[in-house]
Chains A and B, each alone.
Chain A
Amino acid sequence: MVSTNLIKLYNQFVSYATNRKYKDAMKIIDEAINSKLDPKLIFTEIISKTLNNIQDFAEEGYKTVSSFQVLAISKIAENAIKKLKNVMGDERDEIGTIILGNIQRDYHVLGPEILRVFLEVAGWKVIYLGPDTAPKEFIRAAKENEADIIMVSSMMMNTAGGIPQVRALLDREKLSGKIKLMVGGAPFNFNLNLVKKVKADAMAMDAYEAVEYAKQLKEFGKIVDYKTEKKKLQYQKAFRLFEMGG
């Protein structure tokens, strides 16, 4: 049973995180650690739950959740986890492995850096390759780490053009059924047809979606539940267009 103190600390932490009060949020983690609460509970019932809560908040109330807001929350979560690691070490159950990076010639690292934190909090082992990653590097890292998913980010149309090479290499190595390919970045948000043109299995519009869809790809091998009806329709349209050779 979750203690009253833990609930109180969670409520304070989520409020500070939502309002981007970094120092106050860190004080709550210090207080939780000093209260001798189980570090695993602090992780699941305060940090992880906060990210989930904010995800619900995003779905329900906000048309636009700004990247700054998401970065602020991810920084708070990242530093809270660092504090926890000092007392609990690195040991935790991982649900799978994701290879994450920007495609070759793309240097826009903000999105992947935020996403890395969200994925780690959700229980994934993340191998972050950084900017300007060659397609063969994604494959090499995926093979070495027995990855479940490769996530490729691109913020420009011309750099997104390099992503089909990742698929080609997955096909060549006969890994396409085993390792899923997910993409993200502004060009994919502006043109929902692009996900099929680059031959990806899925695209995520933000970090929240990426976490949800990664879970679905791992469990079902495909996206079975799009987050909104509108999005579902757009996806269906995109897939039809691709099948028609559009």
Chain B
Amino acid sequence: MTEMTPLERVLTTTKHETPDRVPIFILLSTTCAKLSGFPYKEYYSSGKHIAKMQIQLQKKLDYDCLLGLTYLAQEAEPFGSNVIFYDDGDPNIHKPGFFDDPNKLLEVEMPDPFNDSAIKESLILQKTLAEYGKGKIPILGVGTGIFSLPSLLIGTSKWYEMVLMEPDKSKSIITLLKDYIINLSNAKIESGADIIVLVDGLASASSIPPDIFETFVKPALTRITKEIKAPVVFGTAGGEIQPLIQLVIESGVLGITLSFSDELETIKTEFGDKTVLLGNINNLEIVDWPNSVIEKVVQNCITEGADRGGFILMNQHTFPAALPLEKIEHLIRKAKEFGTYQ
């Protein structure tokens, strides 16, 4: 078979047909920050810096995506949430904007995200990636999912308590934020993203049971996938998804990321024709694996997931900076070797 471009490879597998080989998505964030040579805060605050490193690493390692992610807390910043920048890891929420009084979130006028510098940089990132790879390499526009965003605005404990004690108020918050996510995602697409990945760790099975997903997440996610003008992948940041997978599929997403602890073979058998599966390399344990274990894990993933297409080999969440590039190179080399379709 003639060698495909990364975009052709990914489009083919998403149609549940077999491309030349299994597509490989490598999610790198802190690794890029470390290699960039910039102080982390400066790196994460610049779409140009991030794009440069994403392009450099994709060229060097030759995998099948460009990651349009600045950091996941960015959507909360226009609401006044305070982000902490580390000198050895990804930025994170420091203090949620409505931590002191979650009820105020319902009264607030929706901020215009496009006036926010972090959001502007995120769009610059998509645009810069597109200038390099549009039409050849899929650009993943990454953002926070609908059930996780409230936790960045009021705090996880308070958000869970609200869902438990005040379900109607919680639904109002989801309704309020739904259009915000749709608008941001569509802006990323206009700037160059091909696929939107909504990372919703708090909507994984590790975080919520099926009835909560069905009541709070599914209706909003269904609307979001309809109104976003590109395919949507549901991401869990390493959280398990197996007990919820039918509900996620019914929400209309193109694909679902799996945790290392999800049973890929079972999921492939039951749902492989209904959705695209992305996964499920353990992003943290790999640090301790010798090359022989990396090979075995890659081979297992491909054996269990790759048949008839509809599968992308991916780390379940971004790799830590402590993982040497040589190990990632070995993973990719073996994925190409084992993942070639006959």
Q: Which residue of B lies closest to A72 (CB)?
A: B164
Chain A residue numbers with a CB within 8 Å of B243 are 63-64
The 3 A-B residue pairs whose C-beta atoms are closest, nearest first, are A158-B89, A191-B284, A190-B284
A209 to chain B, nearest CB (A): 15
Q: 8 Å CB contacts to B: which residues of A47-63?
A: 63
Main secondary structure of the interface of A (DSSP, over half): helix
B209 touches A161 (CB 8 A): no
Among candidates B156, B157, B207, B282, residue contacting A191 with C-beta atoms closer than 8 Å: B282
Q: Mark B186-210, 1 if CB is under 8 A from A, else 0.
A: 0000000000000000000111110
Q: 8 Å CB contacts to B: which residues of A68-120?
A: 68-69, 71-72, 75, 105, 107-110, 113
Chain A residue numbers with a CB within 8 Å of B282 are 190-191
Q: Which residue of B lies closest to A246 (CB)?
A: B288
Chain B residue numbers with a CB within 8 Å of A105 are 84, 86
Chain A residue numbers with a CB within 8 Å of B305 are none
Q: Give chain B's interface residues, CB within 8 Å of chain A.
A: 30, 84, 86, 88-90, 92-95, 155-157, 160-161, 163-165, 205-209, 212, 238, 240, 242-243, 260, 282-285, 287-288, 320, 322
CA distance A67 to B163 in the complex (A): 13
Chain B residue numbers with a CB within 8 Å of A110 are 156-157, 160
A107 touches B284 (CB 8 A): no
B167 to chain A, nearest CB (A): 10
CA distance A68 to B92 in the complex (A): 21
Among candidates A63, A109, A158, A246, residue contacting B157 with C-beta atoms closer than 8 Å: A109
CA distance A217 to B258 in the complex (A): 34
Given the contacts A64-B243, A107-B94, A241 and B288 also touching, CB distance less than 8 Å? yes
Among candidates A63, A71, A156, A191, residue contacting B287 with C-beta atoms closer than 8 Å: A191
A71 touches B283 (CB 8 A): no
A75 touches B89 (CB 8 A): no
Chain A residue numbers with a CB within 8 Å of B157 are 71, 109-110, 113
B240 touches A64 (CB 8 A): yes
A169 to chain B, nearest CB (A): 21
B88 touches A66 (CB 8 A): no
A64 touches B88 (CB 8 A): no
CA distance A202 to B9 in the complex (A): 45
Among candidates B30, B160, B205, B287, residue contacting A64 with C-beta atoms closer than 8 Å: B205
Q: Which residue of A lies closest to B160 (CB)?
A: A71
B284 touches A187 (CB 8 A): yes
CA distance A192 to B286 in the complex (A): 11
CA distance A69 to B204 in the complex (A): 13
Enumerate 11 A-B pairs (CB-CB under 8 Å) in ascending A order.
A63-B243, A64-B242, A66-B212, A105-B86, A108-B156, A110-B157, A159-B89, A187-B284, A191-B284, A191-B285, A192-B285
A157 within 8 A of B: yes
Give the most central of B86, B207, B212, B288: most A CB within 10 Å.
Answer: B288
